[in-house]
């Protein structure tokens, strides 16, 4: 039993170490997944799935729900809202038990974002408000700042620019409190944007300039600098300060050369084209659109073809307008963009109508109508199919989760059974250990008592031997005195002899001897006292002395008889006990044949 228990405990310890190592790996995977949530979303998702699988194999609840939270964040950022809702709500049920948990606050934040995206603004603000308070309680000012910014977005989406501005300014003040103004580009840009929406262009330009300054000072935000300069140009354009707008557009263009971002440069050219279109300088607008076209690709190029077509149409350059409209339709068919095809078709219809080519105009009008109906039907079908697919996925995920829950419950049940068996084995081991300790104590006590009895018996026997030896010496001296007196013995000497004879075999001495002997040898004397043997007290004493392995001389001294008398007594005792002639009397008594 102890060996089996030791093996079980060893396996248990090794398993515990493996689980601890597994938990450490899960924590690292989840931490890395969270770090990459914005930078490398695919990597973040893969790490979260790995953490989830490993956590479930280890029954590590914390790891499971951290991974689910990371997956919820991932899908929320990608606007895959059904999957985001599933993972975020699953994790939320667990983190609700951790009222001061960082993960509960994080979960509340992204549930707020989720409900904001689906248009449930009441729930969105409720969760965002909870997250802000929880981060504030934890002293996590950076994440509190993120949530406050999200609350500003919440009000901006609803058109309440005054409240949105309050939250953006609060986030900006918190950034100052943290002492991290190098990274204040986003906060300043948000404030500038909201001031522009409110028509307060002076404040908008002020914060846009501050945003540009922050981007210049922060090497990490250098790529953002061109974006901020372009946005500042847009603020001046909205204020109709066209010279200033052009100045910042050009600065943005110059800065964008260092970023090597063709898409950014294309967007700046498009902004310049928009400005020149607005002021009526259509040639320059067209020139910038052509530059934007050279750098653009994909859907951006489609937008530019469409703008070029519109630009030439405004300049009554019908051929060029038809050319770019045709290019837009051709590329739109390649890219499958029906919306761009529809708008380009409408431009061609107007162009042919202007040219009084009514048959072609009617043909494109008919096609535009068909495209419009097709786009509408496609949107309905796509929405219906998406809903059906999402519903199917949700049902499958629910089934999977139900199966996982059953497996998890089975594992928990198995773990409890193993744990119960382990506890029972430990209790058995402890009881056996206690029993063994008690047995050892009892054995030690018996050994001590046995040693004590041996000591008493030995002391009593030696005392009797020494005393009788002393009496014998006195008797010898008395005999010597009598011989000198030539037979005229003194009566006093005779009385001394009688006293000696009396004390040689005191009953009290034999009683003590018998008690000590019985303590040591149990029922030996009692067994010999049975009627089967019919032994006298004298013979019993002789048996006891033989049992102690005393010599004939020592026995003679104790029994106060001659040496030869001991031999004769043993011989008679042998006959009474029915011992064979060939068997030794001493061996018979000291051996195992008698108790």
Please report the DSSP string for 221-255 in residue order. GHHHHHHHHHHHHHHHHHTT-HHHHHHHHHHHHHH
C-alpha distances (whole Å) from 408 to each of 97, 98, 353 are: 19, 21, 70
State the Cα–Cα distance between residues 144 and 20, nearest whole angstrom: 32
Name the one residue in this structure whose structure tokens are 């004397």.
525
Residue 264 tokens read as 């950014």
User: Among 392, 394, 349, 395, which Cα is nearest to 368's?
Assistant: 349
Q: Which helix (H) or strand (E) segment is 101 a member of?
A: none
- Tell me the mean pLDDT in the region 346-350: 90
Higher pLDDT, 231 or 165: 165
Give the confidence band of 505 by pLDDT, cuts at 50, 70, 90: low
Half-sphere exposure of 456 (CA within 13 A, CB side): 17
Contact 566, 556 (CB under 8 A): yes
Give the confidence band of 424 by pLDDT, cuts at 50, 70, 90: very high
pLDDT for residue 2 is more than 60: no
Residue 430 tokens read as 């402890």
**pLDDT 10s digits, 36-91:** 877 677 888 888 888 888 888 888 888 888 888 888 888 888 888 888 888 898 88
pLDDT for residue 575 is more than 80: yes
Return the top range by mean pLDDT from 20-24, 222-226, 331-335.
331-335
pLDDT for residue 390 is more than 80: no
**pLDDT 10s digits, 190-213:** 888 888 778 787 887 788 778 777
Contact 201, 240 (CB under 8 A): no
pTM for the whole thing? 0.46
pLDDT for residue 25 is more than 70: yes
- Tell me the mean pLDDT in the region 149-171: 86
- Tell me the mean pLDDT in the region 207-223: 70
Burial class (CB in 10 A: 0-12, 13-18, 19+), 433: exposed
Phi, psi dihedrals of residue 229, rounded to the nearest 5° = -65, -40
Q: What is the mean pLDDT of the chain?
A: 79
Contact 305, 293 (CB under 8 A): yes
C-alpha distances (whole Å) from 391 to each of 73, 88, 120, 191, 387 are: 20, 17, 20, 40, 6
For the chain, how far is it from start to end, CA to CA, in angstroms?
Answer: 36
Contact 67, 49 (CB under 8 A): yes
Angle at which helix 222-238 crosses helix 185-197, to 10 degrees, equals: 10
């Amino acid at each position: 039993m102890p060996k089996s228990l030791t093996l079980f405990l060893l396996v248990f310890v090794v398993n515990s170490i493996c689980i601890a190592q597994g938990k450490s790996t899960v924590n690292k995977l989840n931490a890395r997944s969270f770090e990459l949530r914005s930078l490398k979303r695919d990597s973040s998702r893969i790490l979260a799935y790995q953490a989830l699988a490993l956590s479930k194999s280890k029954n590590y609840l914390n790891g499971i729900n951290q991974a689910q939270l990371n997956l919820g964040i991932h899908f929320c950022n990608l606007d895959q809202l059904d999957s985001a809702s599933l993972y975020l709500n699953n994790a939320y049920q667990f983190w609700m038990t951790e009222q001061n948990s960082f993960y509960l606050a994080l979960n509340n934040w992204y549930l707020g974002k989720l409900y904001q995206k689906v248009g449930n603004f009441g729930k969105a603000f409720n969760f965002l408000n909870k997250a802000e308070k929880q981060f504030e309680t934890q002293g996590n000012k950076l994440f509190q700042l993120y949530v406050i910014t999200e609350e500003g977005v919440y009000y901006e989406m609803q058109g309440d620019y005054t409240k949105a501005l309050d939250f953006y300014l609060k986030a900006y003040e918190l950034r100052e409190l943290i002492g991290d103004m190098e990274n204040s580009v986003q906060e300043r840009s948000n404030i500038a944007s909201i001031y522009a929406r409110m028509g307060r262009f002076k404040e908008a330009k002020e914060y846009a300039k501050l945003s540009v300054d922050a981007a210049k000072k922060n090497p990490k935000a250098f790529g953002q600098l061109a974006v901020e300069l372009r946005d500042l140009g847009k603020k001046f354009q909205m204020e109709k300060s066209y010279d200033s707008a052009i100045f910042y557009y050009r600065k943005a263009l110059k800065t964008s050369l260092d970023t090597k971002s063709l898409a950014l440069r294309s967007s700046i050219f498009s902004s310049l084209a928009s400005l020149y279109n607005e002021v009526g300088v259509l040639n320059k607008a067209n020139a910038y659109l052509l530059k934007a076209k050279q750098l653009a690709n994909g859907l951006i190029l489609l937008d530019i073809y469409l703008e070029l077509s519109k630009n030439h149409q405004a300049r009554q350059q019908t051929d060029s307008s038809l050319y770019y409209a045709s290019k837009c339709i051709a590329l739109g068919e390649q890219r499958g963009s029906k919306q761009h095809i529809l708008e380009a078709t409408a431009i061609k219809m107007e162009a042919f109508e202007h040219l009084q080519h009514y048959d072609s105009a009617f043909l494109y009008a008919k096609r535009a109508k068909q495209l419009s109906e097709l786009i509408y039907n496609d949107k309905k079908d796509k929405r219906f199919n998406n809903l059906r697919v999402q519903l199917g996925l949700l049902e499958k995920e629910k089934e999977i989760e139900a199966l996982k829950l059953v497996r998890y419950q089975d594992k928990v049940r198995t773990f409890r059974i193993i744990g119960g068996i382990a506890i029972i084995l430990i209790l058995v081991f402890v009881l056996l250990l206690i029993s063994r300790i008690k047995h050892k104590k009892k054995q030690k006590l018996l050994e001590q008592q046995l040693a004590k009895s041996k000591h008493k018996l030995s002391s009593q026997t030696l005392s009797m031997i020494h005393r009788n030896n002393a009496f014998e010496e006195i008797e010898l001296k008395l005999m010597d005195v009598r011989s000198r007196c030539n037979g005229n013995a003194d009566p006093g000497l005779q009385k001394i002899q009688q006293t000696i004879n009396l004390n040689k075999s005191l009953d009290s001495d034999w009683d003590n001897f018998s008690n000590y002997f019985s303590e040591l040898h149990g029922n030996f004397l009692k067994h010999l006292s049975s009627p089967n043997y019919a032994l006298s007290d004298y013979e019993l004493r002789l048996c006891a002395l033989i049992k102690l392995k005393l010599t004939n001389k020592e026995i003679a001294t104790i029994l106060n008889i001659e040496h030869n008398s001991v031999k004769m007594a043993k011989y008679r005792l042998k006959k009474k006990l029915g011992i064979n002639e060939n068997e030794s009397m001493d061996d018979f008594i000291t051996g195992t044949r008698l108790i």
